[in-house]
Structure 1
Amino acid sequence: MACDSLGRPVRFLIAAGQSHDILAVPALLERHRPAAVFADRVYDANSLRRPGPDRSRGRLPPTRSRKAPIAHDPLVYRLRNRVERCFNKLKHFRCLATRFDTLAHHYLAIVHIAASMLWTR
């Protein structure tokens, strides 16, 4: 999920349940050009850190297993909680938190309805 600077949901992508979420990040950022990418340290990858015309600058702390530590700003890193708060707001909708729908496109439709309700608040 991608959200804006106010913590409102902007883009969604449902990834396969057995794969890591970092594999879905390039598809999520495909046509979305944010000024910066804020994420948890588990999303530390060189592909997200690479600046360029088609990539935004990643502001991610390095994982502890990285050989060459990369400096990051801990004050800027705290802004990632806006994404976590957005997830928390979506989980207030019971059908999203418990995943009643078995089909991905039905679940994604419910996510879009819940996101539109969050935008109208």
Structure 2
Amino acid sequence: MPHSFWCSPGTPLGSGRKRGTLCQAIERSRGGITTKILALTDALGNLVDFCLMPGPAHDLRKTDTLVRDLSAGHLLADSAFDADWLRNDLLERDIIPIIPPKSNRKFPATFDKETYKWRHLIENYFGKLKENRGIEMRSCKTD
């Protein structure tokens, strides 16, 4: 799988993880064994690229690999992606970040609220995934 960057080469087998989950995007948290999907869609809500991460990992952890080759006019994301390095990277590539600031920011960044309303398309995509879980997603423990 091209986006399986979680396991570093040369990780010893006795690293505390069970067999079969060593290089998988799966991890135990208080809620159980979880996996997180980080998805990139086009303007119509169709999937462009995705990567899997362990559930407790922060969303920004693999964002740079997902948007590395992105060419677009705007990037709409929720406030979990509010980071200065991401905003600066997008602006250098002439991509306008439409990301609401986190509530704890001392100097909140501005964003276009009207354009941000179109982010419902990605939420619709995840709703379709949850609706058709048996068809579109495998329900096994590894990626």
Where on the TM-score scale, by shorter chain, does this alignment land: which range?
0.7 to 0.9
Residue 38 (1) aligns with residue 76 (2): yes
Change (3 A) 1:98 1:6: closer
Partner of 1:112: none
In the alignment, structure 1 segments of 5+ residues that lack a partner are 105-121
- Residues 48 and 57 of structure 1 are in contact (CA less than 8 Å); yes or no, is this contact kept in structure 2? no
1:95 aligns with 2:127: no
Q: Which consecutive unaligned segments of at least 5 residues does structure 2 have?
A: 1-38
The structure richer in helix per residue is 1
Cα contact 1:49–1:59 (8 A) shared by 2: no
* TM norm structure 1: 0.75
Mapped to 1, the partners of 2:70 and 2:44 lie a distance apart of 16
Q: Distance in 1 between matches of 2:133 and 2:125?
A: 15
- Cα offset for 1:101? 1.4
Kindly provide the CA deviation profile for residues 24-79 of structure 1, in whole angstroms up to 9, marking residues without a partner as x.
111111223222110111211112211113x7321111111000122222111111
Task: Kindly provide the amino acid, as one letter, of the partner of residue 134 in structure 2.
Answer: C
Kindly provide the amino acid, as one letter, of the partner of residue 45 in structure 2. G
Partner amino acid, structure 1, of 2:50: F
Letter paired with 1:101: C
Give me the whole-angstrom Cα distance separating, in 1, the residues matched to 2:52 and 2:61: 11
**Residue 72 (structure 1) aligned with residue 136 (structure 2):** no
43, 61, 67: which one pairs with 1:23? 61
1:9 to 47, 70, 74: 47
When normalised by structure 2's length, the TM-score is: 0.64
Is 1:84 the equivalent of 2:123?
A: yes
Deviation at residue 21 of structure 1 after TM alignment: 1.3
In the TM superposition, what is the alpha-carbon distance from 1:97 to its structure 2 partner? 8.6
CA contact (8 A) 2:59 2:80 kept: no
- RMSD in angstroms over aligned alpha carbons? 2.0
Bigger strand share: 2
Kindly indicate whether structure 1 or structure 2 has the higher relative contact order, using CA contacts under 8 Å at least 6 residues apart: 1
Distance 1:88 1:26 in 2: 25
